[in-house]
Amino acid sequence: MTRVISVISGKGGVGKTTIVANLGVVLAEMGIDITVVDCNLTTPNLGFHLGMPIFPKNLHDVLKGKEKISDVIYEHDSGLKIIPAGLGIDDLKGIDPRRLSNALLGLYGVTDIVIIDAAAGLGREAMAAIENSDELLIVTNPELPAVLDAVKAYKIAENIGIKAFGVVLNRISGKKHELNENEISNLIELPIVAKIREDENIRKSIAVKIPIVKYKPYSKTSYEIRMLASKIAGKPFEFEIPWYRRIFMGIFD
Which of these, 139, 135, 176, lies nearest to 5 by C-alpha position? 135
Tell me the C-alpha to C-alpha distance, in Å, between residue 16 and each of 11, 12, 42. Answer: 10, 8, 15
Average pLDDT per 10 consecutive residues for the chain, totaling 253 residues: 95 95 97 97 93 90 94 96 91 87 94 97 93 97 95 93 96 94 93 96 95 94 96 85 61 45
- Domains of the chain plus CATH, in order, are 3-249 (3.40.50.300)
User: Is the pTM higher than 0.75?
Assistant: yes
8 A C-beta contact, residue 207 and residue 51: no
pLDDT given for residue 237 in this prediction: 76
Q: Cα separation of 239 and 30, whole Å?
A: 9
Q: What is the pLDDT of residue 53?
A: 80
Angstrom distance (rounded) from CA 3 to CA 1:
6
- Which of 64, 65, 83, 63 is CA-nearest to residue 73? 83
Residue 244 is predicted with a pLDDT of: 63
String of b and e for 103-116 (b: at least 16 CB within 10 Å)? bbebbeeebebbbb
Sign of CA dihedral 116, 238, 223, 148: positive
